Amino acid sequence: MATYELYYWPTIPGRGEFVRLALEDAGADYLDIARLPEDEGGGVKALMKMMRDEGNELQPLAPPFLKSEGQLIAQTANILHYLGPRLGLCPGDDSSQRRAHQLQLTIADFITEIHDVHHPIAVSLYYEDQRAEARRRAPLFISERLPKYLAYFERVLERNAAADRAHLIGTATSYVDLSMFHLLAGLDYAFPRAMAQQASRIPLLRALHQRLPARPRLAAYLASPRRIPFNLHGIFRHYPELDVSEPS
Protein backbone atom coordinates (compact mmCIF):
# COMPACT_ATOMS: atom_id res chain seq x y z
CA MET A 1 0.00 0.00 0.00
CA ALA A 2 1.31 3.44 -0.90
CA THR A 3 1.79 6.07 1.80
CA TYR A 4 -0.48 8.49 -0.05
CA GLU A 5 -3.42 7.95 -2.39
CA LEU A 6 -4.36 10.96 -4.49
CA TYR A 7 -7.87 11.10 -5.94
CA TYR A 8 -8.40 13.50 -8.82
CA TRP A 9 -9.84 13.63 -12.32
CA PRO A 10 -7.46 11.74 -14.62
CA THR A 11 -7.51 13.95 -17.73
CA ILE A 12 -6.89 17.52 -16.52
CA PRO A 13 -4.13 19.14 -14.47
CA GLY A 14 -6.82 21.07 -12.56
CA ARG A 15 -6.53 21.65 -8.84
CA GLY A 16 -5.07 18.17 -8.37
CA GLU A 17 -1.87 19.27 -10.09
CA PHE A 18 -0.89 21.45 -7.14
CA VAL A 19 -0.92 18.35 -4.95
CA ARG A 20 0.79 16.19 -7.59
CA LEU A 21 3.65 18.66 -7.90
CA ALA A 22 4.37 18.51 -4.17
CA LEU A 23 4.23 14.69 -4.11
CA GLU A 24 6.43 14.41 -7.21
CA ASP A 25 8.99 16.99 -6.16
CA ALA A 26 9.36 15.26 -2.80
CA GLY A 27 9.64 11.82 -4.39
CA ALA A 28 6.76 10.67 -2.21
CA ASP A 29 5.36 7.16 -2.33
CA TYR A 30 1.92 7.82 -3.82
CA LEU A 31 -0.70 6.42 -6.16
CA ASP A 32 -2.72 8.62 -8.51
CA ILE A 33 -5.79 6.42 -8.15
CA ALA A 34 -8.04 7.60 -10.97
CA ARG A 35 -5.18 7.23 -13.46
CA LEU A 36 -4.66 3.56 -12.65
CA PRO A 37 -6.46 0.98 -14.82
CA GLU A 38 -9.86 -0.06 -13.54
CA ASP A 39 -8.70 -3.66 -13.10
CA GLU A 40 -6.07 -2.38 -10.69
CA GLY A 41 -8.73 -0.58 -8.65
CA GLY A 42 -8.33 2.69 -10.51
CA GLY A 43 -10.33 4.91 -12.84
CA VAL A 44 -12.97 7.52 -12.20
CA LYS A 45 -15.15 4.77 -10.76
CA ALA A 46 -12.70 4.29 -7.89
CA LEU A 47 -12.65 8.05 -7.32
CA MET A 48 -16.45 8.28 -7.17
CA LYS A 49 -16.66 5.26 -4.91
CA MET A 50 -14.17 6.73 -2.42
CA MET A 51 -15.85 10.14 -2.52
CA ARG A 52 -19.16 8.57 -1.50
CA ASP A 53 -17.76 5.95 0.88
CA GLU A 54 -19.82 6.07 4.07
CA GLY A 55 -16.79 4.85 5.99
CA ASN A 56 -15.09 8.24 5.72
CA GLU A 57 -15.45 10.40 8.78
CA LEU A 58 -16.09 13.40 6.55
CA GLN A 59 -17.00 13.09 2.89
CA PRO A 60 -15.45 15.61 0.49
CA LEU A 61 -17.66 17.73 -1.74
CA ALA A 62 -15.28 17.40 -4.68
CA PRO A 63 -11.83 16.15 -5.76
CA PRO A 64 -8.96 16.49 -5.12
CA PHE A 65 -8.73 14.51 -1.93
CA LEU A 66 -5.93 12.55 -0.36
CA LYS A 67 -5.99 9.34 1.62
CA SER A 68 -3.30 9.19 4.26
CA GLU A 69 -3.06 7.50 7.65
CA GLY A 70 -6.62 6.26 7.26
CA GLN A 71 -7.98 9.77 6.81
CA LEU A 72 -9.53 11.38 3.77
CA ILE A 73 -8.41 14.99 3.42
CA ALA A 74 -10.06 17.36 0.94
CA GLN A 75 -9.62 20.95 -0.26
CA THR A 76 -6.37 21.54 -2.17
CA ALA A 77 -4.85 24.07 0.25
CA ASN A 78 -5.82 21.89 3.23
CA ILE A 79 -4.11 18.88 1.62
CA LEU A 80 -0.94 20.90 1.03
CA HIS A 81 -1.05 22.24 4.58
CA TYR A 82 -1.07 18.63 5.75
CA LEU A 83 1.60 17.43 3.31
CA GLY A 84 3.96 20.42 3.56
CA PRO A 85 6.00 19.55 6.66
CA ARG A 86 5.65 15.79 6.03
CA LEU A 87 7.25 16.15 2.58
CA GLY A 88 9.89 18.63 3.71
CA LEU A 89 8.17 21.28 1.62
CA CYS A 90 7.34 23.69 4.43
CA PRO A 91 9.12 24.74 7.60
CA GLY A 92 7.78 22.81 10.60
CA ASP A 93 6.85 25.66 12.94
CA ASP A 94 3.24 26.80 13.29
CA SER A 95 3.86 30.37 12.26
CA SER A 96 5.61 29.45 8.99
CA GLN A 97 2.94 26.87 8.20
CA ARG A 98 0.26 29.48 8.77
CA ARG A 99 1.96 31.98 6.47
CA ALA A 100 2.53 29.34 3.78
CA HIS A 101 -1.15 28.41 4.04
CA GLN A 102 -2.21 32.05 3.83
CA LEU A 103 -0.28 32.38 0.58
CA GLN A 104 -1.71 29.13 -0.74
CA LEU A 105 -5.24 30.33 0.00
CA THR A 106 -4.50 33.54 -1.89
CA ILE A 107 -3.27 31.40 -4.79
CA ALA A 108 -6.55 29.47 -4.53
CA ASP A 109 -8.55 32.71 -4.77
CA PHE A 110 -6.54 33.70 -7.83
CA ILE A 111 -7.15 30.29 -9.44
CA THR A 112 -10.90 30.61 -8.94
CA GLU A 113 -10.86 34.00 -10.65
CA ILE A 114 -8.75 32.63 -13.51
CA HIS A 115 -11.16 29.73 -14.02
CA ASP A 116 -14.17 32.01 -13.95
CA VAL A 117 -12.78 34.14 -16.78
CA HIS A 118 -13.90 31.37 -19.15
CA HIS A 119 -16.83 30.33 -16.96
CA PRO A 120 -18.46 33.51 -15.61
CA ILE A 121 -22.03 32.18 -15.73
CA ALA A 122 -22.05 28.52 -14.69
CA VAL A 123 -19.73 25.50 -14.44
CA SER A 124 -22.51 23.44 -15.98
CA LEU A 125 -22.43 25.34 -19.27
CA TYR A 126 -19.86 24.95 -22.01
CA TYR A 127 -17.49 27.83 -22.62
CA GLU A 128 -19.13 28.33 -26.00
CA ASP A 129 -22.43 29.01 -24.24
CA GLN A 130 -20.98 31.79 -22.09
CA ARG A 131 -18.43 33.20 -24.51
CA ALA A 132 -20.09 36.62 -24.73
CA GLU A 133 -19.86 37.07 -20.94
CA ALA A 134 -16.31 35.64 -20.90
CA ARG A 135 -15.27 38.19 -23.50
CA ARG A 136 -16.56 40.93 -21.25
CA ARG A 137 -14.87 39.53 -18.14
CA ALA A 138 -11.46 38.75 -19.70
CA PRO A 139 -10.20 42.31 -20.40
CA LEU A 140 -11.15 43.39 -16.87
CA PHE A 141 -9.37 40.36 -15.45
CA ILE A 142 -6.28 41.15 -17.52
CA SER A 143 -6.20 44.86 -16.71
CA GLU A 144 -7.16 44.67 -13.03
CA ARG A 145 -6.95 41.29 -11.33
CA LEU A 146 -3.96 39.70 -13.08
CA PRO A 147 -1.58 42.63 -12.30
CA LYS A 148 -2.98 42.95 -8.77
CA TYR A 149 -2.30 39.33 -7.83
CA LEU A 150 1.05 39.14 -9.65
CA ALA A 151 2.28 42.38 -8.06
CA TYR A 152 1.28 41.03 -4.66
CA PHE A 153 3.26 37.81 -5.05
CA GLU A 154 6.22 39.68 -6.57
CA ARG A 155 6.21 41.87 -3.48
CA VAL A 156 6.17 38.81 -1.21
CA LEU A 157 9.32 37.54 -2.95
CA GLU A 158 10.91 40.99 -2.83
CA ARG A 159 10.46 41.17 0.91
CA ASN A 160 11.87 37.71 1.56
CA ALA A 161 15.46 38.98 1.51
CA ALA A 162 16.53 36.23 3.92
CA ALA A 163 16.00 33.80 1.05
CA ASP A 164 17.67 35.98 -1.60
CA ARG A 165 14.15 36.75 -2.87
CA ALA A 166 14.03 33.27 -4.36
CA HIS A 167 11.29 31.75 -2.20
CA LEU A 168 7.82 32.88 -1.25
CA ILE A 169 8.15 31.49 2.26
CA GLY A 170 11.14 30.47 4.37
CA THR A 171 14.62 29.88 2.95
CA ALA A 172 14.03 26.72 0.90
CA THR A 173 11.64 25.56 -1.80
CA SER A 174 8.14 25.04 -0.40
CA TYR A 175 4.90 23.75 -1.80
CA VAL A 176 3.93 27.42 -2.27
CA ASP A 177 6.85 27.90 -4.69
CA LEU A 178 5.79 24.76 -6.57
CA SER A 179 2.21 26.03 -6.79
CA MET A 180 3.46 29.40 -8.03
CA PHE A 181 5.53 27.62 -10.69
CA HIS A 182 2.40 25.87 -11.94
CA LEU A 183 0.27 28.99 -11.70
CA LEU A 184 2.71 30.91 -13.90
CA ALA A 185 2.95 28.02 -16.35
CA GLY A 186 -0.83 27.97 -16.56
CA LEU A 187 -1.10 31.70 -17.07
CA ASP A 188 1.59 31.58 -19.79
CA TYR A 189 -0.48 28.91 -21.52
CA ALA A 190 -3.82 30.67 -21.17
CA PHE A 191 -2.82 34.31 -21.66
CA PRO A 192 0.56 34.36 -23.46
CA ARG A 193 0.24 37.93 -24.71
CA ALA A 194 -0.99 39.37 -21.42
CA MET A 195 1.78 37.53 -19.56
CA ALA A 196 4.41 38.88 -21.97
CA GLN A 197 3.20 42.38 -21.10
CA GLN A 198 3.56 41.60 -17.39
CA ALA A 199 7.04 40.07 -17.60
CA SER A 200 9.08 43.19 -16.82
CA ARG A 201 6.97 43.87 -13.72
CA ILE A 202 7.56 40.46 -12.17
CA PRO A 203 11.26 39.62 -12.53
CA LEU A 204 11.42 37.64 -9.28
CA LEU A 205 8.40 35.51 -10.13
CA ARG A 206 9.80 34.86 -13.62
CA ALA A 207 13.14 33.86 -12.09
CA LEU A 208 11.40 31.46 -9.72
CA HIS A 209 9.50 29.98 -12.65
CA GLN A 210 12.71 29.47 -14.63
CA ARG A 211 14.72 28.11 -11.74
CA LEU A 212 12.36 25.50 -10.31
CA PRO A 213 12.59 22.93 -13.14
CA ALA A 214 16.30 22.56 -12.30
CA ARG A 215 15.16 20.41 -9.38
CA PRO A 216 15.86 16.85 -10.60
CA ARG A 217 12.68 15.13 -9.43
CA LEU A 218 10.53 17.99 -10.66
CA ALA A 219 12.33 17.94 -14.02
CA ALA A 220 11.82 14.19 -14.34
CA TYR A 221 8.15 14.59 -13.56
CA LEU A 222 7.64 17.44 -16.02
CA ALA A 223 9.25 15.35 -18.78
CA SER A 224 7.16 12.27 -17.95
CA PRO A 225 3.72 11.27 -19.21
CA ARG A 226 2.51 11.73 -15.64
CA ARG A 227 2.46 15.51 -16.26
CA ILE A 228 -0.86 16.13 -18.00
CA PRO A 229 -0.53 18.91 -20.60
CA PHE A 230 -2.75 21.95 -20.25
CA ASN A 231 -5.86 21.54 -22.36
CA LEU A 232 -9.30 23.03 -22.93
CA HIS A 233 -10.95 21.29 -19.97
CA GLY A 234 -9.19 22.63 -16.91
CA ILE A 235 -8.61 25.85 -15.01
CA PHE A 236 -6.11 27.29 -17.49
CA ARG A 237 -7.49 27.35 -21.03
CA HIS A 238 -6.12 29.03 -24.07
CA TYR A 239 -8.90 30.82 -25.89
CA PRO A 240 -7.06 33.44 -27.98
CA GLU A 241 -10.09 35.73 -28.01
CA LEU A 242 -9.81 36.10 -24.20
CA ASP A 243 -6.16 37.22 -24.27
CA VAL A 244 -5.12 40.77 -25.17
CA SER A 245 -5.22 41.54 -28.88
CA GLU A 246 -2.19 40.94 -31.02
CA PRO A 247 -0.21 44.17 -31.53
CA SER A 248 -1.30 45.56 -34.90
Query: Which parts of this chain interact with a second copy (CB under 8 A)?
Result: 54, 57-61, 71, 73-75, 77-78, 81-82, 95, 98-99, 101-103, 105-106, 109, 112, 116, 120-122, 124-125, 133, 136-137, 140-141, 144-145, 149, 152, 155-156, 159, 169
Smallest distance from a second copy to CB 150, Å: 11
Smallest distance from a second copy to CB 73, Å: 6
**Beta-carbon contacts of residue 228 (< 8 Å; ≥ 6 apart):** 11, 12, 13, 17
**CB-nearer residue toward a second copy: 52 or 226:** 52
Smallest distance from a second copy to CB 185, Å: 21
Burial class of residue 230 in the structure, from the number of CB atoms within 10 Å of its CB (0-12 exposed, 13-18 middle, 19+ buried): buried
Q: In whole angstroms, what is the distance from residue 37 CA to residue 48 CA?
A: 15
**CB-nearer residue toward a second copy: 60 or 186:** 60
14, amino acid identity:
G
**CB-nearer residue toward a second copy: 27 or 85:** 85
Smallest distance from a second copy to CB 7, Å: 14
Number of H helices, E strands in the chain: 10, 4
Smallest distance from a second copy to CB 48, Å: 15
Phi, psi of 238 (to 5 degrees): -100, 95
Smallest distance from a second copy to CB 156, Å: 7
**Beta-carbon contacts of residue 90 (< 8 Å; ≥ 6 apart):** 84, 96, 97, 100, 169, 170, 174, 175, 176
Q: In whole angstroms, what is the distance from residue 52 CA to residue 62 CA?
A: 10
**CB-nearer residue toward a second copy: 40 or 53:** 53
**CB-nearer residue toward a second copy: 59 or 222:** 59
In SS3 terms, 120-188 reads as CCCCCCCHHHHHHHHHHHHHHHHHHHHHHHHHHHHHHHHHCHHHCCCCCCCCCCCHHHHHHHHHHHHHH
Q: What angle in degrees, to the nearest 10, is found between the helix axes of 131-140 and 94-118?
A: 130
Q: In whole angstroms, what is the distance from residue 175 CA to residue 205 CA?
A: 15
**CB-nearer residue toward a second copy: 45 or 98:** 98
**CB-nearer residue toward a second copy: 141 or 221:** 141
Smallest distance from a second copy to CB 211, Å: 21
